A and B are shown apart, each in its own frame.
Chain A
Amino acid sequence: MRMSKLVRTGADLLYPFALIFGLYIIMHGHLTPGGGFQGGAIVATGAAIVIAAWAYEDVAEMIRKVTMKAQESAGLLLFIGAAALALGCGYAFFYNVLANSGGLFGLPVAFGPNPGELDTAGVIPIMNIAVGIEVWGGLTIILLYLLSGLKSEEGT
Chain B
Amino acid sequence: MFWNLPFIAVVVLCLIGLATIVMKKNLIKIFLGITIFESAVNLFLISLGYREGGIAPIYTTAPSIDMVMATPQALTLTSIVIGVATSALLLSFAVVIWKKYGTIDTDQIRRLRE
Q: Say yes or no: is B99 at the interface (Cβ < 8 Å to chain A).
A: yes
Per-position 1/0 for B68-99, Cβ under 8 A of A = 00000000010011001000100110011001
CB distance from B78 to the nearest CB of A (A): 9
Docked-complex contact A113 and B92, CB < 8 angstroms: no
Q: Are B59 and A114 in contact (CB under 8 A)?
A: yes
- Assess whether A33 is in contact with B56, with CB atoms less than 8 Å apart: yes
CA of A51 to CA of B68, assembled, Å: 40
Per-residue 0/1 for A133-156: is the Cβ within 8 Å of any B Cβ (1 yes, 0 no)? Answer: 001000100100110011000000
Interface presence of A67 (CB below 8 A)? no
- The reply to whether A149 and B58 contact each other, CB–CB distance below 8 Å, is no
Which residues from chain B contact A145 at a C-beta distance below 8 Å? 92
- Interface residue count for B (Cβ, 8 Å)? 18
Check if A4 is an interface residue, CB within 8 A of chain B. no
CB distance from A97 to the nearest CB of B (A): 22
> Which of A115, A135, A139, A146 is the one whose CB lies under 8 Å from B60?
A115
- Please determine whether A113 and B62 come into contact, CB atoms closer than 8 angstroms: yes
The smallest beta-carbon distance between B61 and chain A, in angstroms, is 6
Which of B11-33 touch A at CB < 8 Å?
none
**A142 adjacent to B60 (CB under 8 Å):** no
Residues of A within 8 A of B84 (CB): 139
A31-44 vs B, CB cutoff 8 Å, 1 = contact: the mask equals: 11100010000000
17 contacts between A and B (CB under 8 A): A32-B58, A33-B58, A37-B80, A112-B65, A113-B59, A113-B63, A113-B65, A114-B59, A114-B61, A115-B60, A115-B61, A142-B88, A145-B92, A146-B91, A146-B92, A149-B96, A149-B99
Interface of A toward B, CB cutoff 8 Å? 31-33, 37, 112-116, 135, 139, 142, 145-146, 149-150
Please report B residues at the A interface, Cβ cutoff 8 Å.
Answer: 56, 58-63, 65, 77, 80-81, 84, 88, 91-92, 95-96, 99
